[in-house]
Amino acid sequence: MTQPTAADAQEPKAFYAGLLAELAARRAAIAPTRQSFGPPRKLSRAELVEWLKFQAWYELEAAGFIGSWLDDVKEPEAFLGLARQVSDEARHYTLFRHHLESFGGSLEGWVPEPEWVAWVSEFYRAGNDTLERIAAHNITGELGAMQAFETLMPRVPESTRRLLRKVTPDERFHVALGRVVVQRYAVTADAQARVRQRVIGAFELEQAGRAAFERRMATLS
């Protein structure tokens, strides 16, 4: 059987642009009430505390699984960028944890939903190589984080908005790193198929994770 080659692939920049367009179309097809964490209204204090717990946990998990990739990263620019990203995620964890504590919250005894574990702890950590891993997290995951921050901005206190504005530039860097790696290394039809599979798989798990957040919010009412 003939293996797919670069001649069978899309031009890398066009491929990346197509991925982003597909993600945008999939997100636009979701009901507006499902495009963020919780319904489109201001979060109650209890809901905000719960989201901060989730976000602090997410940042801590990200620092861990990205750090675990470094032993296996062969691409020099990816290694440098991911090493910086581990530091970013650790700093974000500290910022969100301190902000959570300012509302009287803590991660002590907190247990994530099973969908969050499957999405963040398992799927993002997995992947056969740097290309698959960074495609799932630095494209789908970080774009999803930026979209979530944008939709949450009018729904949270000013102190939380300041925190979101502080971490967003780092998220842009993480997305840019994903773009560079995909455009440079997803140059065969096989590589592009693997990237797309991971990108869409991450999106589907993200949606299940957001639905699980709504389920948890219902228990706070």
pLDDT in tens, 141-158: 999 999 999 999 999 999
pLDDT tens for each residue of 10-29: 999 999 999 999 999 999 89
Q: How high does pLDDT run on average in the chain?
A: 93
To the nearest whole percent, how much of the chain has pLDDT over 90? 86
pLDDT score of 9: 87
Domain 42-218 = CATH 2.40.50.140: no
pLDDT score of 36: 73
Question: Averaged over 160-173, what is the pLDDT?
Answer: 97
pLDDT tens for each residue of 99-127: 999 999 999 999 999 999 999 999 999 99
Q: How far apart are CA 64 and CA 90, in angstroms?
A: 9
Let me know if 5 is exposed, middle or buried by CB neighbors in 10 A (0-12, 13-18, 19+). exposed
Question: Averaged over 53-68, what is the pLDDT?
Answer: 98
DSSP string, the chain: -PPP-GGGSPPHHHHHHHHHHHHHHHHHTS-GGGSSSSSSSPPPHHHHHHHHHHHHHHHHHHHHHHHHHGGG---HHHHHHHHHHHHHHHHHHHHHHHHHHHTT---TT----HHHIIIIIIITT--SSHHHHHIIIIIIIHHHHHHHHHHHGGGS-HHHHHHHHHHHHHHHHHHHHHHHHHHHH--SHHHHHHHHHHHHHHHHHHHHHHHHHHHHHHTT-
Question: Averaged over 35-48, what is the pLDDT?
Answer: 83
**Is residue 5 scored above 60 in pLDDT?**
no
pLDDT score of 135: 96
**Is residue 43 scored above 70 in pLDDT?**
yes
pLDDT score of 1: 38
Integer CA distances (angstroms), 56 to 62, 110, 139, 151, in order: 10, 11, 20, 18
pLDDT score of 30: 85
Q: Supply the pTM of this predicted model.
A: 0.92
Asked whether 35 and 151 are in contact (CB, 8 A), the reply is: yes
Question: Averaged over 186-205, what is the pLDDT?
Answer: 97
- Every domain of the chain and the residues it spans: 42-218
Q: How far apart are CA 188 and CA 45, in angstroms?
A: 49
